[in-house]
């Protein structure tokens, strides 16, 4: 079968393409923005990519068009599909029908930490010899690919609350029918489709409604929004993590790189890994609970996590030049920015820490998170904010009250010049964006070499 994917370079759709290819289909696709790591992964898989949405790419007609949720009415390719009566489906529906049917599905949902946690969970199952399938919105470095079918019933999905397609406004995760569900956290996000937090809570409850009574729901004790979700009705056993929960951590190093794990008060293992930050410790507890649900003993789980390498673009060290370390991080929300910088600060002590932030997610572009931005970077020694001309709100005014020395720049060149002037050996630079950021990481490394 020839499957053509519109919006193929999105992390979800790109992973879907890999699964379709593995199932033996001929897969092609197109996108307006073709950039790594997804574009390089697809090319390595022999999947033909077209830049843009000209209808010519749909001639001769494919057997099925999978339409990504970034596509809307008025898009030339979408209009062609509708006018010609070509068969089409949303990505989550295709996944449910052709991959997840009859599998033991483990989902990771929440505002933050989905990619890291689903990568961790897939790796823990792999380490335990369970050869899971997975679909992750990033490239887990223990596997080197964002999706695979797997050889056993177990399948891990990064479960997004974003809508499924222009013709299906339900959250993607409603399609997945999990048996094991991690609900990591819940804050307001996706301001382009949700009017308020209550609307997102309602979608999370739709997910909870689909989990069988023989399944398991895992959530931290501290998340009030998730508590409200479960109070709407829960028909499934629950495990809790964190303060007062069944699963707890005892930090053995302040930055979270070593901690012991307790289950119902008993120590069941120690994690000693490359990651930092309280958020990753919390992610690990949920993952160990989910893995135990499918039969992985916590001792084996903690040993696996000690060998875990985080997904690409999750505090990924991309360069070290003249003693200056550059990281690429996907942070897309003030809470994610704050927890990431806090973890790094605890690891590096008094060393200089520079943050470069591009407010690129739809919620960021709409200004939904602007009040939280000044406080989110308080662990940095200096911050560069990127304000492209089309941002639509006054970033400089929003971050003016920041306690950290701040520069708002309208070009990458200005950011590079500023950073270059103030770095010294030992400086840590974190580039935070959920997009390609115009190749800033490479350009900055090049400039520091000169």
State how far the Cα of 181 lies from the Cα of 339, in Å rounded to an integer. Answer: 23
**Bridging pattern class, strands 216-220 and 180-183:** parallel
The single residue listed with the structure tokens 């590096």 is 348
> Distance between CA 124 and CA 131 in Å, rounded?
10
Cis peptide bond N-terminal to 37, omega within 30: yes
Confidence of residue 367 (pLDDT cuts 50, 70, 90): low
Q: Which two tokens stand for residue 152?
A: 């056993």
3-state secondary structure labels for all residues of 220-249? ECCCHHHHHHHHCCCCCCEEEECCCCCEEE
DSSP letter at 425 equals T
In angstroms, the Cα distances linking 269 to 117, 182, 405 are 18, 20, 42
Which residue in this structure is represented by tokens 């120690």? 270
Q: CB within 8 A of 331, min separation 6: which ones?
A: 337, 340, 357, 432, 433, 434
How confident is residue 138, by pLDDT bands cut at 50, 70 and 90? confident
Residue 416 has pLDDT above 80, yes or no: yes
Contacts of 53 by beta carbon, 8 Å cutoff, 6+ apart? 6, 30, 32, 75, 76, 77, 78
The rounded mean pLDDT for the chain is 91
Cβ burial 63-100 (10 Å sphere, 16+ → b, else e): ebbbbbbbbeeebebbebbeeeeeebbbbbbbbbeebb
Does 23 score more than 80 pLDDT?
Answer: yes
**In terms of Cα–Cα distance, which of 174, 175, 176 is closest to 155?**
176
d(CA 56, CA 84): 13
Residue 113: pLDDT band with limits 50, 70, 90: confident
**Looking at residue 164, what is its pLDDT?**
95
Q: How far apart are CA 162 and CA 363, in angstroms?
A: 12
Tens digit of each residue's pLDDT (9 = 90 or more) over 25-65:
999 999 997 777 678 889 888 999 999 999 999 999 999 99
Window from 184-193, 235-244, 385-394 with minimum mean pLDDT: 184-193
Task: Say yes or no to pLDDT of 363 above 70.
Answer: no
Do the Cβ atoms of 399 and 406 come closer than 8 Å? yes
Out of 141-145, 166-170, 249-253, least confident range: 141-145
Q: pLDDT above 70 covers what percent of the chain?
A: 96
Over range 285-291, report the average pLDDT. Answer: 98
Q: Is the pLDDT of residue 255 over 70?
A: yes
For range 66-84, the mean pLDDT: 97
The Cα–Cα gap between 187 and 113 comes to 12
Confidence of residue 441 (pLDDT cuts 50, 70, 90): confident
Question: How far is it, in rounded angstroms, from Cα 298 to Cα 301?
Answer: 5
């Amino acid at each position: 079968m020839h499957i053509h994917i519109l919006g193929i370079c999105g992390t979800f759709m790109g992973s879907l393409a890999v699964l379709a290819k593995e199932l033996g289909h001929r897969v092609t696709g197109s996108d307006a923005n073709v950039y790594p790591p997804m574009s390089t992964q697809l090319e390595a898989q022999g999947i033909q990519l077209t830049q843009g949405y000209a209808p010519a790419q749909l001639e001769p007609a494919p057997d099925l068009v999978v339409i990504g949720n970034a596509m809307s009415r008025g898009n030339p390719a979408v209009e062609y599909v509708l006018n010609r009566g070509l068969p089409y489906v949303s990505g989550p529906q295709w996944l449910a029908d052709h991959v997840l049917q009859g599998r033991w599905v483990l989902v990771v949902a929440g505002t933050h930490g989905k990619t890291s946690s689903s990568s961790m969970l897939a790796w823990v199952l792999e380490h335990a010899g369970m050869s899971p399938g997975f679909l992750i919105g990033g490239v887990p470095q223990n596997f080197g690919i964002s999706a695979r079918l797997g050889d056993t019933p177990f399948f891990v999905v990064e479960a997004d609350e974003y809508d499924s397609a222009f013709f299906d406004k339900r959250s993607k995760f409603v399609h997945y029918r999990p048996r094991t569900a991690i609900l990591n956290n819940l804050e307001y996000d996706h301001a382009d489709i949700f009017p308020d937090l209550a609307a997102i809570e309602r979608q999370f409850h739709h997910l909870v409604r689909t989990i069988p009574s023989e399944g398991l729901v895992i959530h931290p004790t501290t998340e009030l929004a998730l508590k409200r979700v479960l109070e709407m009705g829960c028909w499934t056993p629950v495990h809790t993590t964190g303060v007062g929960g069944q699963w707890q951590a005892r930090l053995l190093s302040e930055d979270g790189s070593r901690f012991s794990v307790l289950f119902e008060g008993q120590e069941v293992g120690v994690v000693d890994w490359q990651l930092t930050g309280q958020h990753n410790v919390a992610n690990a507890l949920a993952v160990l609970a989910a893995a135990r649900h499918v039969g992985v003993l916590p001792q084996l789980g903690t040993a696996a996590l000690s060998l875990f390498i985080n997904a690409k673009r999750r505090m990924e060290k991309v360069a070290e030049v003249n003693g200056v370390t550059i990281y690429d991080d996907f942070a897309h929300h003030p809470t994610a920015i704050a927890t990431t910088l806090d973890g790094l600060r605890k690891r590096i002590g008094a060393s200089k820490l520079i943050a470069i932030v591009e407010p690129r997610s739809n919620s960021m572009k709409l200004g939904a998170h602007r009040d939280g931005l000044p406080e989110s970077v308080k662990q940095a020694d200096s911050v560069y904010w990127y304000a492209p001309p089309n941002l639509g709100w006054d970033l400089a005014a929003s971050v003016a009250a920041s306690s950290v020395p701040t520069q708002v720049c309208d070009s990458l060149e200005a950011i590079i010049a500023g950073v270059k002037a103030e770095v010294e050996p030992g400086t840590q630079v974190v580039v935070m964006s959920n997009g390609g950021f115009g190749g800033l990481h490479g350009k900055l490394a090049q400039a520091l070499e000169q």
